[in-house]
Structure 1
Amino acid sequence: MAYNAPGTSRQFKLAKESELRIEVGTETSLRLRLLSGSAEIFGTELPPENWVTFPPRLKFAIFTWNGATVEVNGTSEVEYVADETPMVSYVNVHAVLEGRRARAKGFSTNDIDSSQGPRVIVVGPTDSGKSSLSRMLLSWASKQSWKPTFVDLDIGQGSITLPGCIAATPIEMPIDPVEGIPLEMSIVYFFGHITPTANAELYKVLVKELSRTLERQFSGNAESRAAGMVINTMGWVEGLGYELLLHSIDAFNANVVLVLGQEKLCSMLKDVLKNKPNVDIVKLHKSGGVVPRNTKLRQKDRSYRIREYFYGLVNDLSPHSNVVNFGDVSVFRIGGGPQAPRSALPIGAEPAADPTRLVPVNINRDLLHLVLAVSYAKEPDQIISSNVAGFIYVTDIDIPKKKITYLAPCPGELPSRFLLVGTLTWLES
């Protein structure tokens, strides 16, 4: 392991089936290029001879199946070659999924069950490499001309869009190791919190809503149906987390469950799903390159993710500051408020909060530094079942003038007057 000063160049000769693991420094970027052989990052091939620039804080591994020489230039905090990786078992899973896609493509769309490709759900505890494995399976599939759907249910991290959301998007080409997953065609539902404990019932409702939306898309698109989906999940696998995991497997009709790095979880799932013969549960080893993150680091990662949404990965976007009158927008929170008055309940019963109740929010300075979602809903009663157009960040609330100043990724009017608020905060630095 090494820390390298800026400007220093070094070469690594990688033996077959080995990988170079790198953690870019926190302040400066790092460049690398493939000098000979072939290599890939999370399933996406490196172009020969072209320098690729990686921004600060990125963590990745360059893997080679047959051997490669790589040149690295710039600052890294960690840098080492590993010859023990689980990649062969991962690519074997990919080969099985390919076979299932090919079979599904051969059936007519009238045969609903047989024309359905693999629906893979990747599960495991925090920091077990679920996102990386998901990326590999998606990139390998798209390299074979499939367009699988990526579903991200990890509200704490957010691989497609911001944390606090669940989302899905088709993957039409191998995922860029720097840019990540494209946003253009994504379907996003705003949960608004980074942990499901804030409103577990709402999380379930949104998961079901997303699954219904995708089912409608698949019913009219045989190609997408055969390509199937890869579903990334949260790292919380006990108690409520486990319950939500089972709910997700059920909601998306997952037929392949990949369990990363936990015997106990694998055993529990085999036991609870034993009556579903069509569901295969496969235990895989996690990569030794997975970097554990503490709470502070996760918080930092979320903050960078939000910043990236507005400013781009390397500050290449120019967000717009806009002003809107209080009267031109309606802000809502989902969940809260009693379901029924105490008088309508049995004696001794306590009124419970309604997890899917739409609560109008008074515009005041409590909204400062919050990230709000802009709903596609046309009417308030459509808000829960509607996905979102994007996000704004509240930078100022002028109570006397009744005006909100906000940051948006693009100029122009908001696509809707309905805004959703959760607990997603960001202090712009």
Structure 2
Amino acid sequence: MATEAETTFTLQPLDDGSAEVFGTELPRGRSVALAGHKLAVFTWEGCKVTVQGEPAVMYVADETPMAAYVNAHQTLNQRREEASKAAPGSAACRGPVVAVLGPTDSGKSTLCRLLGNWAVRSGWQPVFVDLDVGQGTITVPGCLAALPLEQPADVADGWSADIPLVFYYGHSSPGENPQLFKTLCDKLAALLARRAAADPRAAASGVLINTFGWVDGLGYELQKHIIAAFQCDVVLVMEQDRLHATLQQDLKTLSPRTQLVKLPKSGGAVKREADERRAARDGRIREYFYGPPSAPLQPATQTVRAADLAVYRIGSGPRAPNTALPLGAVSLADPLRLQNLAPSLELLQCLLAVSHAPTPEAILSSNVAGFVLVKDVDTARGTLTLTCPAAGQLPGRYLVLGSLRSSID
């Protein structure tokens, strides 16, 4: 089913069976209101669901890949059981670390949500890692984020992201600064490895990694870096035979113990145009500040002295690719260099991450506390007007600028 953002429909299962949406069971005897969603309702044993309202698209699928998906889940659960019985601290106590790869709009996020919800319902607490910087499942786009899953995702609002671990990359494509992307991958992977070493239950529950849809050229090399950095022992490939075949060959050297599995694409996964993806990114930023329709938030606007803050960009900003340079020349730009920026109109409508870093030198190694949106810059008075998720002093004075902007008011 699919509907536009301004229209609403409700779902309610009847008492003669159970149904689920992406692995989350629909509550019996209670309707769920949905707006601006694309979703699939599935039942294993048969169930009637009442639909009130007019979804833009609604149909019954003749075929479904759910059997293949649940088989993958059962295999992962078996590995978790084996890991939980192993000696703490041993290599065998580590549960499955799963990377989901595939081209854009092949159903990667949906599969991660299914596997995560089923794992939680089975009593496990895997960590969901979102590396799809162009989408932003856990928080705003442009982030590498990790979230321990403690309960199934809400049907309408997804997983509760009260305690995510977030590093701000700042761009919608990993190709904007691949060295920074790899550096943040390494830092996030190291932190999750430390968490698993300290908590046997977390180690046995494993990790689910959602990746981006760029699977050619540099994108493919970054995908291989993800597999190596997180020490993935299971790779699920969505839809594409060529990607599966290439990985099958390369993993023999890169990670010979990694199990590679090809899964079918769901018929409900549809290709989105570039403008649709941009609108979705803007929608995620809006939702961060204003909340979803079911639980609206009241962001705060505050004006702060520019002298009390410091805005940094990682890297040297836009630069010509090596292919555009004279023959034999290479770019001298440092992709990890910190550049302090003076307040200017360039910051208008920019999304800034509030870093936990105690010093500028620690920005690269520090996660972020949250985000603010620049609504006005008064260079004469030396002030910035910011939209913040809540009122009060910012949790840090160092702000990180990427290339993401938003048109929200």
Q: Could you state the TM-score of these two structures normalised by the residue count of structure 1?
A: 0.91
Partner Cα distance (1:27, 1:179) in 2: 16
* 1:419 aligned partner, one-letter code: L
CA contact (8 A) 1:44 1:175 kept: yes
8 Å CA contact 1:37, 1:66 repeated in 2: yes
Does the CA contact (< 8 Å) of 2:89 and 2:197 recur in 1?
Answer: no
Picking from 371, 376, 387, the partner of 2:356 is 376
- Structure 1 residues 337 and 97: alpha-carbon distance in aligned structure 2, compared to 1, 3 A threshold: closer
Counterpart residue identity of residue 34, structure 1? P
Distance 2:54 2:390 in 1: 33
Partner of 1:34: 13
CA contact (8 A) 1:337 1:354 kept: no
Q: 1:398 to 1:272 in 2, by over 3 A?
A: same
What residue number does 1:342 align with?
A: none
Does the 8 A contact of 2:152 with 2:159 survive in 1? no
Q: CA deviation at 1:274?
A: 1.5
For residues 114 and 54 of structure 1, the distance between their equivalents in structure 2, rounded to whole angstroms, comes to 43
Aligned position for 1:202:
180
Q: Deviations over 1:382-419 (max 9, x none)?
A: 10010000000000111111110000001100001000
Q: CA deviation at 1:242?
A: 0.3
How many angstroms apart in 1 are the aligned matches of 2:401 and 2:330?
Answer: 27
Letter in 1 for 2:58: E
Q: Give distance in 2, aligned partners of 1:53 and 1:191.
A: 34
Alignment of 1:75-224 (within 5 A): 75-111=54-90, 113-224=91-202
* Deviation of the 1:337 alpha carbon: 7.7
**Which amino acid in structure 2 is aligned with residue 103 of structure 1?**
E
Is 1:23 equivalent to 2:2 in the alignment?
yes
CA distance in structure 2 between the partners assigned to 1:258 and 1:350 by the alignment: 36
1:213-292 aligned at under 5 Å gives the runs 213-275=191-253, 276-292=255-271
TM-score computed with the length of structure 2 as normaliser:
0.95
* SS of structure 1 residue aligned to 2:93: coil
Letter in 1 for 2:157: E
Query: Which letter maps to 1:385?
Result: S
SS at structure 2 position matched to 1:79: coil
Report how many aligned residue pairs link the two structures: 397
Residue 420 (structure 1) aligns with: 400
In structure 2, distance between residues paired with 1:82 and 1:350: 52
How many Å apart are 1:109 and its aligned residue? 1.4
Structure 1 runs of 4+ with >4 Å offset: 348-351
* SS in structure 2 of the partner of residue 188 of structure 1: strand
Partner of 1:398: 378
2:25 and 2:72 map into 1 onto residues whose CA distance is 19
Which residue in 1 is equivalent to 2:324? none
Matches within 5 A, 1:271-420: 271-275=249-253, 276-314=255-293, 316-336=296-316, 352-420=332-400
- The answer to whether the 8 A contact 1:25-1:75 is kept is no
Equivalent residue letter for 2:371: F
- RMSD, aligned α-carbons: 1.3
- For residues 46 and 153 of structure 1, the distance between their equivalents in structure 2, rounded to whole angstroms, comes to 28
Q: 5+ residue gaps in structure 2? A: 319-327
Measured in 1, the distance between the counterparts of 2:99 and 2:383 equals 45
Q: Distance in 2 between matches of 1:335 and 1:285?
A: 39
Counterpart-to-counterpart distance in 2, 1:144 and 1:190: 32
In structure 1, what is the Cα distance between the partners aligned to 2:330 and 2:240? Answer: 39
Whole-angstrom distance in 1 between the partners of 2:300 and 2:5: 27
Shift in Å, 1:216: 1.1
